[in-house]
Amino acid sequence: MLHIELFHNLYTQIRTTLDPNRSIAWLADEVDYLITTPYLVNELLAFSALHLSTTRPKRREYYRYHAAQLQTQALSIFKESSPQVAQETCVPLFVFAVSLGIHTLCDTLIYREGDFAHFLDRFVHFFRLYYGVRTIVHESWHMIKDTPLAPSFSMGTDLYKFDGRLGPGSQSLLNLVDRAKLGTELTEIYRQAIESLQSCLNVIDGRKGSHVGINAVTTWPILLKTEFGELIEQRRPEALVILAHYACMLHQCKDCWLFGDSGAFVIQEVTGYLGPDWEEWMAWPNQILGS
């Protein structure tokens, strides 16, 4: 009965959250054959269980338990089968990577047991896992072009190209990074993170709909250099400030079950962690939070 409930929730609620207009090919009816891929179906059911854990508070632990169990099972099957990127596997692999990444991000943001340091460690874990999405996309792009996923994916790659213009918050942050004289390598990592963040903010500003915000929030970590996760792990203050600027996007999507109050949490925690010496760096996130 649980699996039937999770399937129903997946196709009625989660589908509406991620694709209200039914325009994303990999969620559409014509690729329902995806559910015959065991590692993928387990992850999609796990994601569905995670959603129910946020919408049914009285049974939160029950659904969280099953979300974790199903995800563990999905990962186990995935590792055992060790699927190689090929024409028949590229779409299930891509959907699995994306679903796994969003699931892990949501679980990290919503369920924040422990202190801020523990949260940051979990975020770094998510970041490293999510980097696999980019790897799979890179390996399978020439094949994805011949699948139902191609139109929405091509649109996505065009949407998130940086157009050279920074908003006031991003420009102020980049000015502070430049002024800090952190060295060429570190400055370039931060510049790329800020420009990628601006690209995501531009998508939200230029297009309407809650699913647009969800896409932008979940896209930013894919766009970053792998070194950024290491800088979060090292608790580099500039990296934490950039994370707080990302939290402004989370805060804009606070009504979505995927993110909840995580934006406000990150901004407040980074502000407290860094202290008054970093007040200028944290001005824009705290302004957004205050408004």
pLDDT in tens, 131-189: 877 787 778 777 877 777 776 665 566 677 888 889 999 999 999 999 999 999 999 99
129 and 245 inside one domain: no
**pLDDT tops 60 at residue 221:** yes
112 and 189 inside one domain: no
**pLDDT tops 50 at residue 30:** no
In a domain, 193, yes or no: yes
- The three-state secondary structure class of 10 is helix
Query: Amino acid letter at 155?
Result: M
Point out the domain boundary residue: 111, 143, 175: 143
Q: Provide mean pLDDT across the span 2-16.
A: 86
**pLDDT tops 60 at residue 236:** yes
**pLDDT tops 80 at residue 207:** no
Point out the domain boundary residue: 143, 168, 202: 143
172 and 230 inside one domain: yes
In a domain, 280, yes or no: yes
| Residue in the block written with tokens 């055992």 | 80
What is the per-residue pLDDT across 76-92, written as a single tens digit (0 to 9) for each? 999 999 888 888 888 88
In a domain, 152, yes or no: no
What is the per-residue pLDDT across 241-286, written as a single tens digit (0 to 9) for each? 999 999 999 999 999 899 999 999 999 999 999 999 999 999 999 9
**DSSP assignments along 232-285, one per residue:** HHTT-HHHHHHHHHHHHHHHHTTTSTTTTTHHHHHHHHHHHHH-GGGTTTTHHH
What six digits make up the tokens of 199?
Answer: 């690209």
**DSSP assignments along 77-88, one per residue:** HHHHH-PPP-TT
In a domain, 154, yes or no: no
Count of structural domains, the chain = 2
pTM score of the predicted model: 0.90
In a domain, 149, yes or no: no
Q: Is 204 in contact with 259 (CB distance < 8 Å)?
A: no
* Range(s) of the domain holding residue 217: 160-290
Point out the domain boundary residue: 90, 115, 143: 143
CA–CA gap between residue 87 and residue 179 (Å, rounded): 48
41 and 79 inside one domain: yes
67 and 200 inside one domain: no
In a domain, 172, yes or no: yes
CA–CA gap between residue 17 and residue 53 (Å, rounded): 15
In a domain, 150, yes or no: no
